[in-house]
Amino acid sequence: MFLAPFSKTNPNRDTFSRSPLTRVMSAALLVIVVAGCSNNAADATNNTDLVNSSKSKTSTAAVSKDSDAKVVKSLQANLKASGIEETVLSAVPTDMTGIYWVTAEGLPSFFTDKAGKHIIQGQIIAVGAEAPVDISAALLANTAQEALKAVDKKDMVIYPAKGATKAVVYAFTDADCGYCRKLHEEMDDINTRGIEVRYLAWPRSQESVPKMEAIWCSQDRKAAMNQGKAGADVQAPSCANPVQEQMALGAKLGVRGTPAIFTEAGQQVGGYLPAAQLAEAVGAN
């Protein structure tokens, strides 16, 4: 059964879990979530049968830095009128006329119309050309790329590539997740293939939070991570740590299970993938 990140100690997470809008959006997302700790092998935003069967192209024109202030203002007013307090950060025009890509605090990104009256989740595909064009994927990747780039390396647990670095991946992980452990068992193979793995914390339940915090508070995080992934208990003195912040980041990027693996370009390439498939997915062959 899927369990979303939860914390009683972080006010931002409490607000997120109580928000009426968040509850509605999360309920919609859970409809398409597969049971188990690894449900991201194909994210819902890029895994429709139409796209896979047609080998659709990704629209790069959809990514724009120009937020429409009027749409932001209208959407913010409409949210407030409905008793929703999330702050809208930007509303970027997309390739679909009258549809905008919205980034808001504490919420996964979504689409809205020009009047800011409707919230639209999921994938938008343009048809009529030689192949379907996914206008969602580039927007999602751009959001993830910027957010992951902003994470300080000192706040991650990093397993560097052996030899030349051919690719870097970010993996939201939970030490208690079976598929995360399976991925970790292949770490030497992954690193030998030239892939650097940067772990971010994403405990799926309240029970896993102390272990993840202990890993991040350990003097040797890699040793603690190895211990935790092997199923052992991990103990460390409490410290200021980024676990709650990374949980919130995962929620913002639409992470719904672990492992959730992103490239440096912000593309989500999977949940668990065997080392050889991961190398192929990130171009490290």
Extended strands (E) in 115-159: 119-120, 125-126, 133-134, 157-159
**Which has the closest alpha carbon to 93: 74, 69, 73?**
69
Catalytic residue among 13, 37, 43, 180: 180
Distance of CA 67 to the CA centre of its chain: 22
State both tokens at 198: 């940067």
Q: Give the model's pLDDT for residue 85.
A: 86
Query: Cα 166–142–137 angle (5° rounding)?
Result: 95
Extended strands (E) in the chain: 57-58, 88-93, 99-104, 110-113, 119-120, 125-126, 133-134, 157-159, 167-173, 195-201, 260-263, 268-270
The C-alpha atoms of residue 10 and residue 247 are separated, in whole angstroms, by: 10
**Which has the closest alpha carbon to 103: 90, 114, 116?**
90
Catalytic residue among 134, 177, 181, 256: 177
Q: Give the model's pLDDT for residue 6.
A: 37
Q: What are phi and psi of 169, to 5 degrees?
A: -125, 150
Q: Give the model's pLDDT for residue 107.
A: 82
Q: Give the model's pLDDT for residue 160.
A: 98
Q: What is the DSSP string of 175-235?
A: TT-HHHHHHHHTHHHHHHTTEEEEEEE--SSGGGHHHHHHHHHSSSHHHHHHHHHTT----
Task: Map out the domains of the chain with their CATH numbers.
Answer: 11-146 (3.10.450.70), 151-281 (3.40.30.10)
Terminal Cα-to-Cα distance of the chain (whole angstroms): 34
Q: Give the model's pLDDT for residue 129.
A: 83
State both tokens at 2: 């899927």
Catalytic residue among 43, 174, 181, 217: 174
Residue with tokens 């272990």: 211
46 DSSP assignment: G
Whether 204 is catalytic: yes
Whether 174 is catalytic: yes
**Which has the closest alpha carbon to 71: 116, 105, 118, 120?**
116
Q: Give the model's pLDDT for residue 65.
A: 63
Mean pLDDT by groups of 10 residues along the chain of 285 residues = 38 42 48 38 37 43 72 95 91 92 87 95 85 84 93 98 97 97 98 98 94 98 97 96 96 91 94 96 93
Catalytic residue among 13, 181, 198, 204: 204
The C-alpha atoms of residue 117 and residue 131 are separated, in whole angstroms, by: 31
